[in-house]
Structure 1
Amino acid sequence: MTTIAGTWDISIKTPVGTLQVEYLFTEDSSGTATMRGETTPLQDVVVDGAHVTWRQSVTKPMRLNLEFDVSVDGDLLTGQSRAGRLPRSQVIGQRRA
């Protein structure tokens, strides 16, 4: 089982405010993100021990291509995301029981 598998409640602190997103990661290193009724597939999920990266596209609050780089420690996740040339955004999350 990968260290990321499960359902996560993740906060992304962006220049337009903090976004609350539900992430679902599967044991085969795939997953989805759901926010405000929009569910998007995750792309290129790579799990290397506690280090996890992935990409995704969103259309809300605006159309963006995001890249994530996080570390998982048990049921806690911390790291950052980046949308093109925009500043990096802090990412924190907790796995649901």
Structure 2
Amino acid sequence: MAVDGKWNLTIKTPMGDQTGVLTLKQDGDALTGEMSGPQGAAPIENGRVEGDTLKWDAKVTQPMPITLEFAGKEEGGNLSGDVKLGAFGNSTFTGVPA
């Protein structure tokens, strides 16, 4: 699984699509990086690789404080998966190489 690098990220939210850039670095089962977008940047937390699934959290403060919980996979050179939007339920995300 080649996930190192920058990804153009799109998150489906109740307020419409939110876009940004996700930077990932995998070291064994550890996953580090940062998410950035119009509302600022947030380091990814609790990043890990479980089998073929990537998992990480990101605490964003704009437009409101919320912890996003991601679980996804790399397939065909792209990322896709599910994201928990705190009290706003569950949604999906996609990522293409930047």
TM-score, structure 1 normalization = 0.88
What amino acid maps onto 2:45 in structure 1? Q
Once the 2 structures are TM-superposed, how far is the Cα of residue 37 of structure 1 from its aligned partner? Answer: 5.3
* Unaligned ranges ≥5, structure 1: none
- After superposition, the Cα gap between the structure-2 partners of 1:26 and 1:36, relative to the gap in structure 1 and judged at 3 Å, is same
What amino acid maps onto 2:21 in structure 1? E
Q: C-alpha offsets along residues 20-43 of structure 1, whole Å, 9 cap, x if unaligned?
A: 010000133210000115111000
What amino acid maps onto 1:79 in structure 2? G
Residue matched to 2:21: 22
User: 2:39·2:62 contact (CA, 8 Å) conserved in 1?
Assistant: no
What amino acid maps onto 2:15 in structure 1? V
**Percent pairwise identity:** 27
Alpha-carbon distance in 1 for matches of 2:77, 2:39: 25
TM-score, structure 2 normalization = 0.87
Count, aligned residues: 95
Alpha-carbon distance in 2 for matches of 1:91, 1:35: 14
Once the 2 structures are TM-superposed, how far is the Cα of residue 87 of structure 1 from its aligned partner? Answer: 1.8
Alpha-carbon distance in 2 for matches of 1:50, 1:74: 13
* 4+ runs deviating over 6 angstroms: none
Aligned-pair RMSD on alpha carbons?
Answer: 1.5
Residue matched to 1:61: 63
Residue matched to 1:72: 74
